[in-house]
Amino acid sequence: MKARIIGTGSYLPEKIMTNYDLEKLVDTSHEWIVTRTGIEERRIIADDQSTSDMATIAAQRAMEMAGVKPAEIDLIVLATITGDYPWPATACVVQANIGAKNAFAYDVSAACSGFLYALSSANDFIRAGSGKKALVIGAETLSRAVDWTDRNTCVLFGDGAGAVLLDAQESDSGVLSCHLYSDGNYLELLYQPGFGAKHPPSVEGIEAKLPYLKMQGNEVFKVAVRSLTEVSKEALKANGFGSADVAQFIPHQANLRILEATTKRLKLTEKQSFINVNKYGNTSGATIPIAIDEAYHQGLLKEGDLILSAAFGGGFTWGSTLIRW
Ligand code: ACO
pLDDT in tens, 277-297: 999 999 999 999 999 999 999
| Pocket flag, ligand 1, residue 152 (CB < 6 Å) | yes
Beta strands in 142-210 (DSSP E): 159-169, 174-182, 190-191
Burial of 177 (0-12, 13-18, 19+ CB in 10 A): middle
Ligand 1, pocket-test mutation among 81, 220, 257, most atoms within 8 A of CB: 220
Nearest residue by C-alpha to atom 47 in ligand 1: 313
| Pocket flag, ligand 1, residue 146 (CB < 6 Å) | no
Q: Residues 19, 123, 255, 282: which is the catalytic one?
A: 282
**Distance of alpha carbon 168 from alpha carbon 222, whole angstroms:** 38
Mean pLDDT on 17-40? 98
| Pocket flag, ligand 1, residue 226 (CB < 6 Å) | no
Across the strands, what pairs with 164? 8, 136
**Distance of alpha carbon 137 from alpha carbon 7, whole angstroms:** 12
Ligand 1 atom with the shortest distance to the CA of 284: 50
* pLDDT score for 160: 99
* pLDDT score for 124: 98
- Mean pLDDT estimate for the chain: 98
| Pocket flag, ligand 1, residue 186 (CB < 6 Å) | no
Which H helix or E strand runs over 134?
A: strand 133-141
Distance (Å) from CA 151 to ligand 1 centroid: 8
* pLDDT score for 209: 97
- pTM for this one? 0.97
Distance (Å) from CA 146 to ligand 1 centroid: 15
* pLDDT score for 241: 98
Backbone angles phi, psi at 8, to 5 degrees: -135, 155
CATH 3.40.47.10 is right for the domain spanning 176-324 = yes
Distance (Å) from CA 286 to ligand 1 centroid: 22
| Pocket flag, ligand 1, residue 312 (CB < 6 Å) | yes
* Fold match between domain 2-171 and domain 176-324: yes
**Distance of alpha carbon 285 from alpha carbon 314, whole angstroms:** 11
Question: What are the tens digits of pLDDT across the range 126-145?
Answer: 999 999 999 999 999 999 99
CATH 3.50.50.60 is right for the domain spanning 2-171 = no
Distance (Å) from CA 191 to ligand 1 centroid: 16
Domain-by-domain residue ranges, the chain?
Answer: 2-171, 176-324
* pLDDT score for 89: 98
| Pocket flag, ligand 1, residue 32 (CB < 6 Å) | yes
Burial of 200 (0-12, 13-18, 19+ CB in 10 A): exposed
* pLDDT score for 114: 98
Instruction: Respond yes or no: is residue 92 known to be catalytic.
Output: no
* pLDDT score for 163: 99
Residues contacting residue 105 through CB under 8 Å, at least 6 positions apart? 75, 76, 77, 78, 89, 91, 92, 94, 95
**Distance of alpha carbon 148 from alpha carbon 157, whole angstroms:** 11
Distance (Å) from CA 208 to ligand 1 centroid: 21
Distance (Å) from CA 29 to ligand 1 centroid: 13
Angle at 130 between CA 285 and CA 321, to 5 degrees: 35
Q: Residues 92, 112, 154, 178: which is the catalytic one?
A: 112
Question: What are the tens digits of pLDDT across the range 48-86?
Answer: 999 999 999 999 999 999 999 999 999 999 999 999 999
